Structure 1
C-alpha cells in the first residue's frame, strides 16, 4: 500500500522558512550532493501541496516547474483551473487523499508544511516523516509543526548525515 510521506528540511529550532518565507538560511549550509533528495524523489509518484507552497514555488521564478514528471495536486480553498503541471483540488483533503492512497503506485509526498501537514497529522494519515535538520537557529519563522494538542508517537527508522545536515527518518505509530 502507498504511504503518505513528509520529506522536508528544518532549522534546528523547528522552522521551515523565515517569516518572509525565505530559505536563504538553508542554502548557506554545506550539504553533500543533493542531501538525499534524488533518492527520495524516485520513491514517489504523487505530490500534494497547499496553495501557499505552490504560489511560493511559482514566485521563485525557477523556470520549469520542479515536479512536472509527477502527479501533482494543489489544495486550494478557492476554485482554480488546472494547468499542465498541477490539478487544483477544492474538496475535502482527507477524503481525496484516502482515495489516492487506495490507488496503486509509489508513495505520496507532502511538499511544504503548515496547514496541509497539520491536517494530515490531525487525521493520523502521515505514515513516515523524513526531516533533515540544518545546523542553524533562525529564531522565528514558519514552524514545521503547528502549535496545538496534537500528539504522535514515532519510531526511528534511521539516520543519515549529509556533511552538516542530519536526516531523521521516522515511522508514525498508528
Structure 2
C-alpha cells in the first residue's frame, strides 16, 4: 500500500452540474438506465474511510429505511455535534490538519461523500486527489450544484472514462 492515501470524490451529477434538485430529490438520477451499480461496488472496495458533511449525514438518515449504508470508518464534519455514535465520529477540527493526518495513516483511500458545501473547502485547499464523476444524461435546470462558485482554479488530468449504459464516468486526477 502507498504511504500516502488519496482523498477521492466519487459522485453522480446531472449533465448541467447538479447533484440534487432544490428540494434534495434524486428522482431524476434513478430514472436513468445504468448498468449494475455503475461502478459503485468496485470503487467502495478501494476505500476504508469516509468523510461527509452533517447535511449529507442527516439526508442519509432521513432517506435510509434500513441500516446505515456504510460499514467503514466514517467521519462527519459538524459545527454543532461532538462525539460519536455506532456509525460515525463527529469532527469539528481544521479540515487541512485533520485530512492530512488521515492521509498519512496506513490504509486504503478516503472517500469524500457529499456535495458542494463539503467539497468546496477540500478543493480550495487542494486536498482532493481524484474526482470520479458519473454524469447522467439529464438536465434539471436548477438545484444543488456540485461545485460552489468562488475564486479558485483546479487543474485536472483525465485518467479514464467508462460507460455504464446511459451514464458516463469521468475519472480525473488533481494536478498539484
Q: Which residue of the other structure, out of 10, 14, 26, is the alignment partner of 1:11?
A: 14
2:98 is aligned to 96
Q: Which residue of the other structure, out of 29, 33, 37, is the alignment partner of 1:34?
A: 37
Taking the aligned partners of 2:128 and 2:64, their CA distance within structure 1 comes to 30
Taking the aligned partners of 2:63 and 2:130, their CA distance within structure 1 comes to 28
| Mapping for residues 5-154 of structure 1, pairs under 5 Å | 5-67=8-70, 69-154=71-156
Taking the aligned partners of 2:82 and 2:64, their CA distance within structure 1 comes to 20
Deviations along 1:65-123, one digit per CA (max 9) or x if unpaired, are 000x2000000011333110100001112211110001010000000112220010010
**Secondary structure, in 3 states, of the residue corresponding to 1:53?**
helix
Taking the aligned partners of 1:93 and 1:115, their CA distance within structure 2 comes to 13
Taking the aligned partners of 1:80 and 1:100, their CA distance within structure 2 comes to 18
What TM-score, normalized by structure 2, do the two folds share?
0.96
In the alignment of these two chains, the number of paired residues is 173
Taking the aligned partners of 1:143 and 1:79, their CA distance within structure 2 comes to 25
Taking the aligned partners of 1:65 and 1:126, their CA distance within structure 2 comes to 25
